[in-house]
Structure 1
């Protein structure tokens, strides 16, 4: 045990789990040019080198070289990273920062220098609740009932601090969970498309899935949703639980190998994780080609729609602020497609807000793990919304959706928060956007 509460991490102070250690070549690729600094949300807030991508990489290098121990302070700097990967989009050297972070956090999983109980709780929730559909459904049911409760407003005013903030972010208009397409008479013909339903999206954003199905069918797809699919594993990988993330990846690949057509995703975080299965399974014998074939089929909803040519005309009479989901813009490189789809709608005034592609502070469990930083990033979004005064804020990720519900209320606006699929569904169905 180190004098500051850290742990001795093995021979020469190196990694406690060498098999999952950040690759030396990944760490060496960073030349410390500093171009990542202005792209990093935590650096923008704190101004601290250790809260920047190059600072966190340097900490990993010091541990790798045996010149530092895996202390609680090091763990804290890594934990405050949102893994938004905006730094990757800004990096001229092609540093795989997301991969470095996942493997660095795998070391904390192996030998946590602090907060062992809290780390175990997070791992338990991700493995035994989030990744288990029936357990997650039972856990989400009270939240969904609270979201539609007639006395919700009064309850929110008396709930303490963090609990009250989380309650204010629950969506109120999502209806029942998405239970697949059984018994539904959708399009009988058309190009086959597989809908990835995920976990949180399925339980808390059922209406987004239903809107997605309607949009896909209007665009000529025959939508299917296999019951064998699982959670994408993104949250597990981000937490450093790479073993379990690989288990989920293999289950999904096996499930979708029995289907045909594109795998369409309406959650940016899930889409990024699915497209990176080849990287996650790179060392797994027999899985590399299967992962690559699966990843090639994965398309974000906006990506798939943009490649269809003619789309149904629609009207959305609203001033819309589109906010880039980090894993859509920075990881998948999809920025133009959602905006093009919105601009094509009659009456839609697309307004760009300051920091539209800066992380909102949702980042999976981040709002629970790092509530202070999450709240500050949400406050910045609220200020941008207050300046732009949109009628609707549109996004493409469930965590962002929840964060923007809070930001809109903090800004004192009556603006709606919509998923892109909901905006398109409303427009193409003939709604006026209000």
Structure 2
């Protein structure tokens, strides 16, 4: 018999041998046709596991196969559910304490693409110009297609001073662009505060960590002390705040509310049905508020913005938020493994689900692109031999017309922040107008 005929016959026989179920666990094909029977599905799984373990071209560890199966199972759910190795479980706990070694970005999987939710303020990623919405195409020389969030985080973290390269695709890029960053110990300062202009305070919340609510109270108290009296207005900046701990979001919203629902969650079981209410402890600031959000504001920051918006406690200004309206429960497993599982969706007090929708600002203000809007103009004082101003009462107004006071140059270039400040100053001026005209 010719060799080619022998080869074809051998291949045909081998195919029949495989399809007839002659491998161990040969009944697995029948199990696939039976719907809604978890026991038969598990039999199918164990059959495939046994076949792969015994017949794959290379020897493979059973534990590795099972972890791969678990990861594959969770990938069919949503981007935020994940199986965590002991190392990843420990890293997650480090996250909430606000210090780790890396480049400083919060990531998610959006439309099956690894995407930056927001860069963390003051980190290598922030300084390099990485932006919310950037797509991470490669980490080092490894493509991110089908990469889990846990694996992506593990690859981007590392020792202080070590270099790493990520490849980014952005709407404005024609081709992906490489960014080489040097890892640092990322210390997230959760809350910063300062007085911007004549009693108008500014609070920046970078991330919701274990002590965010307490740090916020300290910041408010320090601003009142510096101002010498209660604040006349307050800006709460939640832009590029990727979220964090649910209980801290509730406590932060509670600081500004005296009563009412803050957020509620709905899930399949009783543990997923939760409601959180504000309490009146007599210490809430009563000044007008503006909350700033953008596409990098996610999760816990959306809870705060949504609660204050629904209760009409603050005007929300900026661009629509990220839209992460799901709650993850972290479940410890054997051998220090962990499971992060989406168990509920949360809703604002008025019943809005923000999942994949986000919080829509009351006032839509996009960041200013390009040069500053206001340019210097030729004025009377610039003319040669102009008459000197007469001495008299000082001019009324809250500033020198150029946003002086404690506002830093980089803050003056922050168009959204300046609009929030103008809104509060305008409210203060309008409140002081004589509504009945001249007396």
Q: TM-score, normalised by structure 2?
A: 0.30
Bigger radius of gyration among the two = 2
- Whose RCO is larger (CA < 8 A, sep 6+)? 1
Q: TM-score, normalised by structure 1?
A: 0.30
More strand by share: 2
